[in-house]
Amino acid sequence: MTSQANTRLGRHPERGGQDFETACAIIDAAHVCHVGFTLDAQPYVIPMACARLEQELLLHGSVVSRLMKEASQGLPICATVTHLDGLVLARSAFHSSMNYRSVMVFGTARLVTDASEKARGLDALVDHLLPGRTAEVRPSTRKELNATTLLALPIEVFTTKMRTGPPDEPSADVDDPVWAGVIPLSVEAGAPLDAPNLAAGIPFPERLKAL
């Protein structure tokens, strides 16, 4: 099992860290994580919606999902969040890079079985992706809740890695007549598109305009 001691980075260790608040900030800015695991000696990586509730990373899926079944029975997993913040263009391809923030969380997820805790966790997932949305939609039915598995992965064994700033290149390249710098990247919400069957007169929710 991975321990916090052996999550230290071998390459560019100065970019890594094990600060809990930093890890939480990276997770809280994410909508999607990638969950890695091994079954029958075959590695898999699956993208999943995610959210954090206190000191745990929440993951959800269908009760018939093989990953959900195996993870709820103790299968070790690794959940990774990555934000691409910019393309770093140096005067050579070798020294070009990217600015990013990432965190990898290792461990065994806990199956959430208590009904009230499960409902709270699923609400946290919805409100993380769309703030305040649970106050506007109907509550999940018992059938819907029973069809969903909720896992809570403790944020205990993890490592962060980040890069910021301009290109880092040798002084011999500085005089080359090639543009160098950073192209910032970000994800932005576009204009909302009404559902084709939306009843006339229903406005876009004010609280979602912040997106």
Tens of pLDDT, residue by residue over 98-113, are 999 999 999 999 999 9
Distance CA 38, CA 70 (A): 10
pLDDT band at 189 (very low <50, low <70, confident <90, very high): confident
Q: Is pLDDT at 16 greater than 70 in this prediction?
A: no
Q: What percent of the chain has pLDDT over 90?
A: 79
Comparing CA positions, the residue from 4, 173, 1 lying closest to residue 92 is 173
Give the C-alpha separation, 53 to 67, whole Å: 21
CATH topology of domain 4-165: Pnp Oxidase; Chain A (2.30.110)
Query: What whole-number distance in Å separates Cα of residue 203 and Cα of residue 94?
Result: 51
Mean pLDDT for 32-59 is 96
pLDDT of 167 > 60? The answer is yes
**Measured CA distances, 139 to 122, 134, 182, 198 (Å):** 11, 8, 45, 19
Q: What is the pLDDT of residue 208?
A: 79
Q: What is the mean pLDDT of residues 115-144?
A: 92
The residues, ordered by sequence, that sit 6+ positions from 135 with a Cβ below 8 Å of its Cβ are: none
44, 38 in Cβ contact below 8 A? yes
- CA-nearest of 70, 84, 94, 65 to 26 is 84
